[in-house]
Structure 1
């Protein structure tokens, strides 16, 4: 059931908001939103405008029309924002000038400028250390540079800077992307303990289970659901069941109205034939027959209008009912040629040492589903690229005994100048155009969608097209290697990926920190890259 968000205590309020990109592409139009205290999870399909909204709230973008009011200071953690590698940690935290003034005072420089710079922040270093410790960054020195920390640590560092500032409104855009499991746990704790207003855009279902309400952005409007993501899914299931029931009722009504209209036409035709027969046989005076004919025509017209109107109303009700049913299409594909018999050798690593030191001596057999885990920066991506043959090993051997494909994080498999169908044809050169299009339709690229240039696809579409190109390749891949496949995907796209992998019958090696996703795809074995060694560890 949709709930209305109370505007009275809102810290973020927009009314009649409109935004378009410089090329004229409209993202938001006549958009209203009011967000109050607490944690709000903002979800929606790729391209719905979630990240754009956060940038508007953070004043990084400006609306074309309407009003936008944000009460209090705003803290914003953007998606995939890189920090200057030469920047020192204290500068990234925004406390470099205060620290410099503090140290100058400690060294005897009691100038007014230094005391002004410090203000009331005499404990700034202690608070900075506490913020870093809270996020597991206790080993990072304030004098280090950003270039010395990993990508995941860089994300946590930006969050630490926001926690240190204590903004009134905290905006987080996909904050768990590229974070390992330990880092995610620390971020979850920070979110759970946040006392102010928070709006978080995320596809991470564990993170979304920590929010107080869900704001579902769909069709340019927000639908509110009380509770966390699990409660949202339950409410949505009930809502969709009722919507589908209404569609069935409306469909039955349309059929009934069509039948009644047809019956009415038959009856009117019979009356017309009878009246014509009486007229020809001249059984009654002409004036009476003409009067009856005119009355019959008027009656027939009213009858036809009534039934036509009822049919139109029934169709309108069907259209309204159908609009309430979500059309988040699912991939439906059968991939029998990807099957790997149990026990068949798939991958053999012998005394392998990959670049940056990752070592492995292991064998994979049959349709195993492997989760490759480890902390940020430990070499998981490098190891996958070594297995895929993109990087030669420093020592040892990596042998793949079956056809294989690799899906990298950067999704650079497609040629942007080619259409979706042409890209798939590159991986299956012997397949006919009809065969390619028939199989692409099962990946939701139907008709003209298969003729879209890859460079024009949205993020979710590009991922789906890349997945189709790899899974429909010939020979069929019996080993798929996926590197953080759920990063930047909306929840509908993740469901589509899970459905596609359910149909895949080969072996999988997946680098991911999304525990829910790994459970859903049926991981059978977990390999952890720890201190440079690849080892079997506890299952998921």
Structure 2
């Protein structure tokens, strides 16, 4: 159904992204494609969709695939009909109904007289009833744009579907519809996602890394169990290689000491025996050559073991290397930080919430803010952090509250600054240059990346840099507000974020539709919006 043979891809600057990829997907199989940011998952989907050509290798598909891309505003210049890929049919239908019955229009329509009715039904199935096919995509939310492309699956009924982060931007109801589709569809699926609930609905997991494609014959839970076994084996290999390196160094030292003793003993015997000076020099040169050969042999062996150890260490996970490390002495559990009494807001004559909101937030709580797309979650965040004021009701914020709002665009960072300059901007404690660089290295920014501009960072890198900058600021914020924090992160960086947040002792307010993430960071209360 879908076959990759020795597929490679290189960027325009000739940097190789991946090489020699092999994969075979059978009819009706449902495969997860995972890997770290930058591994090439989206690029591989675009190759399968025919949008990019591989540098080498063979790609074979038995049917034309339907591709649902990751949404980040790139389709704003299209109408809904164009995004659904039915605009030529729609135009032909309207021209025929207006009396322009030409062979070209009939060929374009291809007897699909119900195309508009089927579009309306498909959009309604994804909770998009009432949208016009001529409506610009730019007028839709991120979740609605994703749903338009998902409605295209219902419309076109493809045999092969390629999905790139399909649950991004979807609210809880939208995610549930997506999960139902994945459970029931007979189409062959290849899905790039970090949504662990979704990943557990798929038959197999295919991991893309610099070593190629590795297939695990089970869902995501099975994959994680296998990776845990691999990690344990890797740790054991590292310990074994470290032991071998220590032993090799001991053998090198003992051999060198033994050779020195033999050489010294030989020289004394030769001097007592009255060996001529010219012969002594020859014997001394031979001894030095022997020592040099032994040293070279041991150096080669040590170098080989050291390189193997370095390669193994490169494979170790990075999650445990990063901790917030805040000075949290100013955080007092149970302190009242925010009290809302019958608050409401509006962008017109009608209030945003049918019923005014009343709630309280105390220090140390972990709260999820939930609601459908358009229910006012972002507005409520702006009210809580003091960026807006309610139009009715009262909102108390404790004096001196320090709140950090981490939105999906990581707006706290300046994309024009380098990684190091960005870190220095948060260095209010006056850390020395080497201390700032140690913090950056701890968050996986080596010296080769200190001069990298912010605009060149991936979502995961921006998240790591922002976490690092917060630790450089030293004093822990009273509240950290996260808006869909896992949307732009791969599984590795979700693990890094989760570990860092579990090290934070303050109040956490999270907008997220990822139940696994919410459970892992210890969310215990929900503020629900209608």
Conserved 8 A contact 2:440-2:446: yes
1:218 to 198, 205, 209: 209
Conserved 8 A contact 1:420-1:454: yes
1:387 to 384, 387, 392: 384
Moved more, 127-136 or 379-388: 127-136
Q: Distance in 1 between matches of 2:478 and 2:232?
A: 38
Q: CA RMSD in A?
A: 3.6
Q: Distance in 1 between matches of 2:55 and 2:62?
A: 20
Q: Distance in 1 between matches of 2:178 and 2:481?
A: 27
2:263 to 259, 266, 272: 272
Matches within 5 A, 1:323-362: 323-327=314-318, 330-337=321-328, 340-356=331-347, 357-358=352-353, 359-362=356-359
Matches within 5 A, 1:372-521: 372-401=369-398, 402-434=401-433, 436-445=436-445, 447=447, 449-470=449-470, 472-473=472-473, 476-521=476-521
Conserved 8 A contact 2:4-2:57: no
Q: Deviations over 1:358-401 (max 9, x none)?
A: 44222111211110011111111122123223334333443332
1:235 to 207, 226, 229: 226
Q: Deviations over 1:177-216 (max 9, x none)?
A: 1111110111111122232332211111111112222221
User: What TM-score results when the alignment is normalised by the length of structure 1?
Assistant: 0.84
Q: Deviations over 1:18-70 (max 9, x none)?
A: 3213xx26252534232413222111111222222222222323344554444
Conserved 8 A contact 1:135-1:156: yes
The equivalent residue for 1:49 is 40
Secondary structure of 1:363's aligned partner: strand
Conserved 8 A contact 2:342-2:394: yes
Secondary structure of 2:328's aligned partner: helix
Q: Does 1:365 align with 2:354?
A: no
Q: Distance in 2 between matches of 1:432 and 1:57?
A: 49
User: What TM-score results when the alignment is normalised by the length of structure 2?
Assistant: 0.85
Conserved 8 A contact 1:339-1:504: no
Moved more, 79-88 or 465-474: 79-88
Q: Distance in 2 between matches of 1:456 and 1:287?
A: 68
Residue 475 to residue 396, structure 1, CA distance change in 2 (3 Å): farther
The equivalent residue for 2:525 is 525
The equivalent residue for 1:145 is 135
Q: Deviations over 1:398-422 (max 9, x none)?
A: 3332211111222222122323343
Q: What is the aligned residue count?
A: 518
Residue 267 to residue 439, structure 1, CA distance change in 2 (3 Å): closer
Residue 287 to residue 98, structure 1, CA distance change in 2 (3 Å): closer
Moved more, 220-229 or 124-133: 124-133
Secondary structure of 1:337's aligned partner: coil
Secondary structure of 1:485's aligned partner: coil
Q: Distance in 2 between matches of 1:329 and 1:49?
A: 25
Residue 303 to residue 448, structure 1, CA distance change in 2 (3 Å): closer
Conserved 8 A contact 2:32-2:190: yes
Report the CA distance between 1:498 and its aligned residue.
Answer: 0.8
The equivalent residue for 2:30 is 39
Moved more, 500-509 or 84-93: 84-93
